[in-house]
Amino acid sequence: MSEPSLPALDDAWAIFGASSGLAREFARHAARHNRPLILAGRDVEDLELDGRDLVLRAAPAVRTMKFDALDPAAAAQAAGTLDAALPGRFNVLIAFGVLGSQAEIEADPALAQEIISTNAGAAIALMLALAPLMERRQGGRLVVVGSVAGDRVRASNLVYGASKAALAGACGPLRARLARSNVTLTLSKPGPLDTAMTFGLARGLPLASAADCARDLWQAAQTGKPVRYFPAIWRWIMLVIRLLPGPVFHRLKF
């Protein structure tokens, strides 16, 4: 982090994967609502530039923090830093993730380990490291970005879908535990979004705007909604997809 102590950061948002298209838009909402921000990611210099822009947008303070999800020490280090820096209640957005192409993964199955470690292993480790801090403070919002892909895993997106299914699985019991300390956990489940992650992908589906998704997620977080599909129609699409019998679902080409 650029400064060791941040006493002014009450009710701050700590954003992990802060360079992501979705997280950048979310941070702008936090800034507009005068929330202090801690931006965590791999490229701190890049985040410093974002931080200057967010201050211009009314964030009262922005700090940056190095965070590489694949570093096994990262979750504990992040928790230690936030514990020292944020004496009051704080909120967290976990937005980092990698997609990976199924063809590349099948050519090099070791990539599956990296994707699952990032999207599920590191995100769950971070949630577990931050949970006791938020419980001690008796409040706060934890927002985790999953995906509709985790609702029913497709063969063409097997590793990413499995990673988001694992992440969603961990959110249920953690939400119940955190609720006892007045901490809410919102699991975001976007459909395809127009961000760097989907750049160049040939898809039949239209891409939703990351700015619209962030606005919707900001509102969902304020009221502690447990699960938020975006666009909302995905709740019903995924309900139908989950109800399809296995032999039918696995014959579908998508």
Count the neighbouring beta carbons within 10 Å of the beta carbon of residue 207. 14
- Token code pair at residue 200: 């160049």
Q: What angle (nearest 5°) sits at the alpha carbon of residue 219, between those of residues 130 and 183?
A: 30
Known catalytic residues? 160
Q: Which residue is nearest to ligand NAP (CB)?
A: 97
Check: CB of residue 178 under 8 Å from CB of residue 195. Answer: no
36/192 with CB nearer ligand NAP:
192
- Interacting residues with ligand NAP (CB under 6 A): 17, 19-22, 41-43, 67-70, 95-98, 118, 145, 147, 190, 192-193, 195-198
Q: Which residues contact 53 (CB under 8 A, 6 or more apart)?
A: none
Q: Which is nearer to ligand NAP, 27 or 145 (CB)?
A: 145
Least distance from C-beta 243 to ligand NAP, angstroms? 21
List residues bridging with 62 in a β-sheet. 37
Q: What is the C-alpha separation between 58 and 52, in angstroms, rounded?
A: 10
C-beta of 88: minimal distance to ligand NAP in Å? 26
Nearer to ligand NAP, 59 or 74 (CB): 74
8 A C-beta contact, residue 221 and residue 186 = yes
The continuous run of DSSP H or E covering 30 comes out as helix 21-32
Closest contact distance (angstroms) between CB of 7 and ligand NAP is 27
State the nearest-atom distance from the C-beta of 136 to ligand NAP, in Å: 25
Taken as a whole, the chain contains a residue count of: 254
State which residue, 170 or 193, has the beta carbon closest to ligand NAP. Answer: 193
